[in-house]
Amino acid sequence: MSTILDFMGGDHRACDDLFAAAEDAAAQKNWDSARSLFERFQAAMAHHLAMEEKVLFPAFEARTGMSMGPTQVMRMEHGQMRDLIQEMAGAVASADHDRYLGLSETLNMLMQQHNLKEENVLYPMSDQVLGGELDDLLRSMEAVSTEPEAP
Ligand SMILES: [Fe+2]
Ligand SMILES: [Fe+2]
């Protein structure tokens, strides 16, 4: 039996691995490889953020009644991460070594702090309050679409 912490913590590691591989390739100016690894990182992050914003956070908010609490902070940080990822896409497309590595360092700091907060606080709290609906929740998260939500 898995937990939200195991499942989502494992997904953090998978995103981190792609991030590090893309950074290594960019550091070596191996741009073909950097671009394809960055694209995979971008897709993995889009899916991860969608799992949280469309499934996990709404379930947490509905169960706890806390819609202005930790999930609100996490959503704000997702916005900052998306902006940085967008800028990195420009840097990798134009093979801008210094710019890519600078942005990459900033994103890495933000992402590690963000992930720690989720793994130390939000995921364990979610496991506590959502334990009863875990199977449905994990299934919905895996199946989530990365398309923007209809207004
Ligand atoms: Fe998050
Ligand atoms: Fe996360």
Q: What is the DSSP string of 19-76?
A: HHHHHHHHHTT-HHHHHHHHHHHHHHHHHHHHIIIIIIHHHHHHHH--SSSHHHHHHH
Task: Specify the number of domains making up the chain.
Answer: 1
Residue 149 has pLDDT above 70, yes or no: no
CA of 131 to the centre of ligand 1 (A): 19
* pLDDT tens track for 88-130: 999 999 999 999 999 999 999 999 999 999 999 999 999 999 9
Quick check: is 149 in a domain?
Answer: no
Cα(120) to centroid(ligand 1), Å: 12
* Residue 142 alpha carbon to ligand 1 centre in Å: 15
**Would residue 151 count as lying in a domain?**
no
Indicate whether 61 belongs to any domain: yes
Q: Does residue 55 fall inside a structural domain? A: yes
Q: Ligand 1 centre from 115 Cα, in Å? A: 7
Backbone angles phi, psi at 30, to 5 degrees: -95, 75
| 148 inside domain | no
Q: From the CA of 52, how far away is ligand 2's center (Å)?
A: 7
